[in-house]
Amino acid sequence: MSNFVNQITFITGAGSGIGRATALAFAKAGAHVVVAEVNEECGRETVTQIQQLGYEALFVGCDVADPAQIEAAVRQTIGAYGQLNIAINNAGIGGKYGRFIDQTKEDFDQIMAVNVGGVFYGMQAQIRQMLTQPEGGRIVNLSSIAGVRGMPMGAPYSASKHAVIGLTKTAALEYVRQNIRINAVCPVYTHSTMVDELINTAPGMEERMRRMIPIGRFGQPEEIAQAILWLCADENTFYTGQSLQLDGGLTAG
Ligand SMILES: NC(=O)c1ccc[n+]([C@@H]2O[C@H](COP(=O)([O-])OP(=O)(O)OC[C@H]3O[C@@H](n4cnc5c(N)ncnc54)[C@H](O)[C@@H]3O)[C@@H](O)[C@H]2O)c1
């Protein structure tokens, strides 16, 4: 696989789980990683981990639910490095585990603001910059298996992740001739803070979740990170507008 030496790589929600694993993987491959996080402590911890490995990283505080903040974070990245080669719109929240009819407007609006607004306004700022670069750029958005299947007890989350695929496909088609490749990944349950919270909602939950997955285990954040790197690789020139399912065989059945 190609290396990512000096590639400016902006990752939202890189303070934990899949985002942190992706930040570490890009840094090890030579990228300059920008950690855009609402949680300053865990975002700075990712930067420290990258620096301890001898690589470069920058922390940028950012709540992706606020269009002005995500735009400012992208601008800060360009101000620091002069370009933006890769953007990973990863920040997301799971919302409340509960019946469709019990989900509230407050929960719905919050999940849409973070999971959909963060990707939409993030991509607007990222694409504007990539359009100024002859080499274009690459974007990967975090959808989910809940973005291609229904998710009982998670209606707003599932809706938000379906929307991420719509944004991904549409932007990919609009900018395919400008050398900007845009894809999504759709992981099944993967070890992270978000999944730990879900596991803790009820006794026996972890086992029930595991039984759904043909391979018999949850994903590891590093496995998702490697797929994201592949999507952004220079050699990967013909793959755009797609949703890569990383699900231990779930949707094969
Ligand atoms: N873990 C899974 O099983 C799984 C499966 C499918 C999709 N995903 C998606 O992967 C992405 C990463 O999830 P994870 O499992 O690593 O979760 P996580 O909770 O471990 O990490 C999410 C990170 O995003 C940050 N974040 C949350 N809201 C933010 C905001 N408004 N602005 C900026 N940062 C914010 C958090 O502080 C956290 O560091 C999410 O979009 C999630 O929906 C996760």
Q: Give the model confidence (pLDDT) of 81-122 as tens digits.
A: 999 999 999 999 999 999 999 999 999 999 999 999 999 999
Query: For residue 192, how far is its CA from the centre of ligand 1 (angstroms)?
Result: 8
By most ligand atoms within 8 Å of CB, the mutation choice from 192, 199, 209, 244 for ligand 1 is 192
Residue nearest (by alpha carbon) to ligand 1 atom 8? 144
* Residue 246 · residue 223 · CB < 8 Å: yes
Q: Which of 157, 175, 189, 239 is catalytic?
A: 157
Q: Is the pLDDT of residue 247 over 80?
A: yes
* Residue 130: per-residue pLDDT: 98
Distant-in-sequence, close-in-space partners of 66: CB < 8 Å, separation ≥ 6: none
Active site residue 157: yes
Phi, psi of 21, deg, nearest 5: -60, -35
- Tell me phi and psi for residue 194, to 5 degrees: -60, -45
Residues 182-197 as b/e (b if ≥16 CB within 10 A, e otherwise) read bbbbbbbbbbbebbee
Q: Where are the beta strands (DSSP E) in the chain?
A: 8-12, 32-37, 57-61, 86-89, 137-142, 180-187, 243-246
Q: For position 3, what pLDDT does the model report?
A: 85
Q: Is the dihedral of CA 160, 144, 13, 193 positive or negative?
A: positive
CA of 250 to the centre of ligand 1 (A): 21
Q: Is the CB of 194 under 6 A from ligand 1?
A: yes
193 lines ligand 1 (CB under 6 A): yes
Given a contact cutoff of 8 angstroms between Cβ atoms, the answer to whether 3 and 82 are in contact is no
Task: Report phi then psi at 104, rounded to 5.
Answer: -100, 165
Which residues is 183 bridged to in the sheet? 140
The answer to whether residues 117 and 164 touch, using CB atoms and an 8 Å cutoff, is no
Q: Ligand 1 pocket, 13 CB below 6 A?
A: yes
| Residues 39-72 pLDDT 10s | 999 999 999 999 999 999 999 999 999 999 999 9
Looking at residue 159, its amino acid is A
What pLDDT does residue 1 have?
54
Substitution candidate for ligand 1 out of 142, 199, 228 with most atoms within 8 A of CB: 142
User: What domains appear along the chain, each with residue ranges and CATH number?
Assistant: 8-191+221-243 (3.40.50.720)
What pTM was computed for the model? 0.98
pLDDT at 181: 98
What dihedral do alpha carbons 20, 25, 27, 30 form, nearest 10°? -170
pLDDT tens-digit series, residues 122-152 = 999 999 999 999 999 999 999 999 999 999 9
Atom of ligand 1 nearest to the CA of 189: 3
Q: Which atom of ligand 1 is nearest to the CA of 197?
A: 19
Q: Which of 24, 38, 185 to mutate to test the pocket of ligand 1 (most atoms within 8 A of CB)?
A: 38
What spacing in Å lies between the alpha carbon of 195 and ligand 1's midpoint? 9
Three-state DSSP at 14 gives coil
Q: How far apart are CA 146 and CA 159, in angstroms?
A: 8
